[in-house]
Structure formats: C-alpha cells, structure tokens
Amino acid sequence: MKHSCPTTLTLLKNLGLSALVFTFVVGCSTTQTPPSEIASVEEIQEVEAGNDPAMEGTDAGAPQDCVDNDERPACHVKSRGLGFVPIKVKSETTQRCLRPNGGSTAENVEIIMSTCSETKSRRWYREQGVYAGGDKIINLNSGKCIERVGTVLRQRTCANSSNPTSAHNQTWVFQGTPPFGSGDFLKSWTSEGGCARAMNATNVRMSTCQNDANRRWYQSAF
C-alpha cells in the first residue's frame, strides 16, 4: 500500500511549510507490505485446514503425498477440510481394528477386525462422499472403499454419482453416542440404515443401531 506523498509534498511547499514537509516525507517512507504479499482469506483458510501447497510431501500433505517410513505413519485422513491426521477404526468392545481380510487389495474382500497395528491395511482415510453429510472410508493399502453389501462390509472400488447404488452403500456417518468418551456409531447412509456391529473378535455385520459397546467405534490416531 502506498501513500500519495508527492501530492502532499507539493501542497505543503506551496504553503511554505518546508519543515513540516520534511517531517511528513520521512513518515511516509515507512515500508508497507505490498498487496501481493498479503495472504488472501482463501489462502489462510487453506493453510489452517492443513492444505498449504508449500507443505506437500510433509505431514500436512494430501494422502498421496504420505511417506511410509519409521518416523511417521504412511497415511493421512482428509476429513471435511479439517486437515490431515492418521486414523484407525477400532471397536470399543474388542479393541481390534478394521481391515480387509488378510490385508488383501482385491475387490469384494470382506472387512473384518484384526489386532491393531500400523500396517497400511489397517489405515484409513475419510473423504467427503457423493452425498452431503456422509463420508467414504478408504483403505490406504488398496485405495478401495468400505461398502455395505447386505449385512456384510466389503472392500470395493470407490463409486461416484454414476453408480448411485454403490455410492449410497459406500457412504457412512460417524455418529456420536453417550456417554462422553465412548465410541461412535458407524452408521450406514443407505435407506436401510443400521450400524456396524462387532459380532465376535473377527466378524462385523450391519445391525440395528443400539447404544452398546459392540456398535461403538473409535477413529483415532496411530
């Protein structure tokens, strides 16, 4: 931003106020931040959301920029513009984590529970789904989505609006439940509704939503 100091200087000279002119010109010499260096509202929001383009390939990077090494987890979660954080989906009752059976990347593999670890097959990220208010849950290892198929959860290629049935079945809501500190319902967005339920130490099935530990899940950092 620049002051119109030359115009002011001419006016004051005409008034014979040379001493004042000198003082004012010195004051105007203060360096101002050029407009090009001022971050826009959009840029500030992007950085606050963890989407700073200058941070690509770092912890603030997008999922495809994640690095798999011993220093930090290989995946991040992009959740509704809230930035990127590691995630696992863990049953409150079994304390075991969701993963495709056998860690497979194949289509239609059943989603089961297994001992929690930092392997890619147990890492997930949430991405806003086709339908507002719901998210896709995408496996880092396979790049496929959790889909409801009847009462079973399976790993399938992520769908879009051109395949509305699968897109609906791949849309999920983590819905908070009392008491404070307990897990969330993992609720299907489909017209059938229902919540994912831990049936035993391994199997997960869709069931009616009831507030018990078998139907509550934690999404937490590694």
Q: Which stretches does DSSP call E strand in 88-182? A: 88-91, 97-100, 109-114, 124-128, 135-139, 145-149, 152-156, 172-176
* pLDDT single digits (tens) 125-165: 888 777 767 889 999 999 999 999 999 999 999 998 888 88
pLDDT > 90 in the chain, percent: 42
| Peptide linkage before 179 cis (omega within 30 of 0) | yes
* pLDDT single digits (tens) 2-16: 444 443 333 333 334
How many domains does the chain fold into? 2
Q: Mean pLDDT over all residues of the chain?
A: 70
Please check whether residues 96 and 140 belong to one and the same domain: yes
Please check whether residues 115 and 22 belong to one and the same domain: no
Q: Per-residue pLDDT for 201 more than 70?
A: yes
State phi, psi for 75 to the nearest 5 degrees.
Answer: -130, 160
Residue 126's pLDDT is what? 86
What DSSP string describes 180-205?
A: TTS-EEEEE-STT--EEEE-SSS-EE
Range of the domain at 19: 5-36
| pLDDT band, residue 193 (cuts 50/70/90) | confident
Residue 86's pLDDT is what? 60
Q: Is pLDDT larger for residue 96 or for residue 66?
A: 96
Please check whether residues 23 and 64 belong to one and the same domain: no
**Residues whose CB is less than 8 angstroms from the CB of residue 160 and which lie 6 or more positions away in sequence, other chains included:** 130, 167
